Amino acid sequence: MDENTQHDCSFLADVLPEERFSLDRAERERFAADEGPHPASVPDAVARPHSTAQVSAVLAAANERGVPVTPWSGGSSIEGNPIPVEGGVVLDTFEMDDVTIRAADRQAVVGPGVVYDELNTAAESAGLRFAPGIAAGDVATVGGMVANNASGLNAVRYGQTREHVYRLEVVLPDGEVVECGRDVVKTASGYSLRDLFVGSEGTLGVVTEATVALEPIPRVRRAALAVFPTREAAGEAVAAVMRSGITPGAIEYLDTRTMEMVAARTDVDVPEAPTLVLEVHSESDAGAKAALEAVRERCEGAGVSEWRAAAGDDIDDVWQARRDVYPAACDYREGATVAVIGDVTVPVSKYPDIIRATVDAADELGVTTPCVGHAGDGNLHFLPIADLDDEDEVARAMALNDRLVAAAIDVGGTATGEHGVGIGKRKFMDREHANAVDLMREVKDAVDPDGVMNPGKVLPDPDE
């Protein structure tokens, strides 16, 4: 045990083959930070199990010694969810990537390391897909999606990861292996332990296999870009569409400033006004046409000033502005980048309020930020820009985030719609959940009495 480590992890040699773990510094440093702004922390060892039995052996041995274990898969999270803040073992499940498609059951049985896009490639020939839909589908894994209850811009119609999980094989902190849930669409049998592990961010155990639901790939998609004279008109259109009987596949809001940032980066004609990007999905071409027509009527009722509809391959063009938001924010100012990604959700009726609050807070704090999000389900993202060497500017970006998280919670919303609590949102847990945090803590203590699983995440310290 050298001076740079917190826990003696030499026990891994007793439970894993030599090639399945490393105590090497350079290797360990690869697992010190995710894609977010939270400080890196180098683990004392990296274990790379290839089987449930190996995961079990590592957990049993670590638990016995009080050594923390932090699960890791894609590493694409941004709230510090897999950062090993107390050292110990990072358990990298990325290579547990078996996929079995059960087309007749509309199911896939997958290892936690299966990358989202790869699962969908495997399911495609059966006309199926894993529907939660996330932005980082090329790197995020199913294990990470389950851990964070991840989702993306299609959640308005298809829901979060939680709604697409049937069964989880989980290794508990003491090494015991349990099956949570069954490979069926419906069950009313017993406590839903499965749902306890979904979204628990690796703090209760390690998912080693999942049976997930596959859905038919939408037969027909149509999309439109709708430009509005004012933010209020766009908000009115969102409300009208969501009340119309049509549930769009996506309904994205981009505010004027965001559109200006996108316009500055491209030669393509980008309307510099509040904009919605809408997509409808249907089981038939006739259905898609009718759905988009119904959406257009609602947008006209709200005073839409420009309507660009698209079908087939042209749908990509409609999405161009939305796709460009993050790169446009990163490129917006020489030497600056996105300092933190905001991710609040509010009741849909409060969406216009939280957008206004974002713009006002940004002005007051002197922060530049896109303001963009999944308007149909109340999930708003803001991406304050800062020079990361400018402490004051970074502090103002973080203050914007803090202020808006608090505002979202205070109108009945949540600190995180998609990205999880990790390190970044722990300080808001009491504000959001009040005394339910005590009950979460009791559950944690029952499942992980020694507190070895991913310590320092999700739950705030009792005295914080």
Ranges within 294-313 binding a second copy (CB under 8 A): 294
Residue 29's alpha-carbon distances to 6, 45, 140, 292, 460, in angstroms, are 14, 10, 20, 50, 26
In whole angstroms, the minimum distance from the beta carbon of 261 to a second copy comes to 25
- The residue with tokens 């303001």 is 371
- 195 by Cβ neighbours in 10 Å (0-12 / 13-18 / 19+) ranks as middle
Binds a second copy (CB under 8 A): choice among 163, 174, 353, 450: 163
In whole angstroms, the minimum distance from the beta carbon of 72 to a second copy comes to 18
Applying CB under 8 A, does 418 fall inside the site for a second copy?
Answer: yes
* Interatomic CA distance for residues 79 and 354, integer angstroms: 21
The residues in 58-87 that bind a second copy, with binding defined as CB under 8 A, are none
Applying CB under 8 A, does 349 fall inside the site for a second copy?
Answer: yes
Closer to a second copy by Cβ: residue 96 or 405: 405
Binds a second copy (CB under 8 A): choice among 207, 447, 452, 453: 447
Residue 306's alpha-carbon distances to 56, 239, 427, in angstroms, are 58, 18, 43
* Interatomic CA distance for residues 396 and 366, integer angstroms: 8
The residues in 315-344 that bind a second copy, with binding defined as CB under 8 A, are none
The residues in 251-290 that bind a second copy, with binding defined as CB under 8 A, are 282-290
Applying CB under 8 A, does 182 fall inside the site for a second copy?
Answer: yes
Binds a second copy (CB under 8 A): choice among 176, 297, 306, 364: 176
Tell me, what DSSP letter sits at residue 350?
A: G
Applying CB under 8 A, does 413 fall inside the site for a second copy?
Answer: yes
Applying CB under 8 A, does 135 fall inside the site for a second copy?
Answer: no
Measured at the CA of 128, the angle between CA 125 and CA 132, to 5 degrees, comes to 135
Contact 31, 58 (CB under 8 A): no
Mutual angle of helices 231-242 and 285-301, in 10-degree steps: 140
CB-based contacts of 69: which residues, under 8 Å, 6+ apart?
Answer: 58, 59, 62, 63, 88, 89, 90, 91, 173, 206, 452, 453, 454
Binds a second copy (CB under 8 A): choice among 239, 262, 354, 423: 239
Applying CB under 8 A, does 207 fall inside the site for a second copy?
Answer: no
In whole angstroms, the minimum distance from the beta carbon of 456 to a second copy comes to 15
Applying CB under 8 A, the span of 32-40, 47-55, 216-224, 364-372 interacting with a second copy comes to: 216-224
For residue 451, the tally of other CB atoms under 10 A from its CB is: 16
Applying CB under 8 A, does 244 fall inside the site for a second copy?
Answer: yes
For 233-284, give the DSSP string: HHHHHHHHHHTTT---SEEEEE-HHHHHHHHTT-SS----S-EEEEEEEESS
Applying CB under 8 A, does 187 fall inside the site for a second copy?
Answer: yes
Binds a second copy (CB under 8 A): choice among 363, 435, 461, 464: 435
Closest CA to 370 of 323, 316, 421: 323
310: its two tokens: 């698209």
Closer to a second copy by Cβ: residue 8 or 438: 438
Closer to a second copy by Cβ: residue 42 or 429: 429
In whole angstroms, the minimum distance from the beta carbon of 244 to a second copy comes to 7
Counting residues that bind a second copy (by CB under 8 A) gives 101
Quote helix, strand, coil % in the chain, to nearest 5: 35, 20, 45
Binds a second copy (CB under 8 A): choice among 95, 440, 450, 451: 440
Closer to a second copy by Cβ: residue 420 or 456: 420
For residue 162, the tally of other CB atoms under 10 A from its CB is: 16
Applying CB under 8 A, does 178 fall inside the site for a second copy?
Answer: yes
Applying CB under 8 A, the span of 28-36, 68-76, 103-111, 261-269 interacting with a second copy comes to: 103-111
Binds a second copy (CB under 8 A): choice among 192, 264, 392, 395: 192
Binds a second copy (CB under 8 A): choice among 57, 171, 340, 346: 346
